[in-house]
Amino acid sequence: MAYEFRKRIQFRAGFFVREVLNGTVEPLVMLFVYTALYGSAAAAAGEGVGTEPVSLGGWTYPEIIQYVAGLVVVRKLIFHSRALDLATEIFEGRVTKYLVMPFRFFVLHQGRFLQFTLLQLAVAALVWCIGYAAAPAYWLVPVSVAATLQAGVLVLMGSYCCFLIFFILNALAFWLDVVWSLLVMAWFVIGFSGGALVPVSQMPAAFYGVLSLGFPYWMITAPIELLMGRLGTGDFLLGAGLVAGQLVALDLLRRWVWRRGLARYVGAGM
């Protein structure tokens, strides 16, 4: 009994440690790179005399640190492909049982998204508290409650778009053998074009012009800038509109791919 209990506690604790630590390596690397970058830029600018802080692509060093802190929290909320195992369900014919049941299969996965989101909201809050307790001077503190809500809405809408994309890629298992590599690639593209490595607004203008139209930007860079007060309510409205449009389009694509896929389903293993 006691053994069982201890095992279970260890499992729970392990889960939280994993969740909290998950995705902290990249931000740490970013931090080192940025520190070196700004250090050499400052050295080149004025041999330590300058009272003006060095700005690269519109971002100062303290701002970048806040960005990285925001990134750690925001990434917790973004739906990742590991939370779906649809492709294997299709491969192994485990989808069959749902096809004869009187409910929409997709609703089940929406349920997973909801579950993921609720859990990760708790994890994100926890991570924010830990970060704030550890380094209150550098940690990102939202400028207002409204900004926090706006950022939250954008992140979750973007996360839902990710969910749709992963669902669609998983559904390609009706046609393809290897879906896993597509999922990894998609995650990389979404992360990069959203600002998981470099804030999109720090990228060259041409990049920024294109990427600021896509939901990844509004899921990562833009919410953090809202939290920092670099963007305002007008930007939020624009972003929400753009993302809503993409969300609807992705959902239509999801329906179409699913219908086409079902027509190719063979119900393996029966």
Residues that bind ligand ATP (CB under 6 A): 266, 268
Kindly give, in sequence order, each residue whose CB lies less than 8 Å from that of residue 58, ignoring residues fewer than 6 positions away: 201, 202
Residue (93 or 232) nearer to ligand ATP, CB: 93
Q: How far is the CB of 267 from ligand ATP (least distance, A)?
A: 7
Residue (18 or 264) nearer to ligand ATP, CB: 264
Q: In terms of C-beta density within 10 A (0-12 exposed, 13-18 middle, 19 or more buried), how is residue 37 classed? A: middle
Q: Residues in contact with other proteins, total (CB under 8 A)?
A: 15
Strands, E assignment, 7-101: 55-56, 59-60
| 14, interface contact from other proteins, ligand ATP, none, CB < 5-8 Å by kind | none
Which residue has the CB atom at the shortest distance from ligand ATP?
Answer: 266
Beta bridge partners of 60: 55
Q: How far is the CB of 174 from other proteins (least distance, A)?
A: 11
Residue (33 or 266) nearer to ligand ATP, CB: 266
Contacts of other proteins in 55-114 (CB under 8 A):
93-94, 96-97, 99-103
Evaluate whether 143 touches 227 at the Cβ level (below 8 Å): yes
Kind and range of the H or E element at 56? strand 55-56
Dist CA 117 CA 156 (whole Å): 8
Q: Which amino acid is present at 50? A: G
- If binding is defined by CB under 8 A, does position 29 make contact with other proteins? no
Q: Which residues bind other proteins (CB under 8 A)?
A: 93-94, 96-97, 99-103, 263, 265-267, 269-270
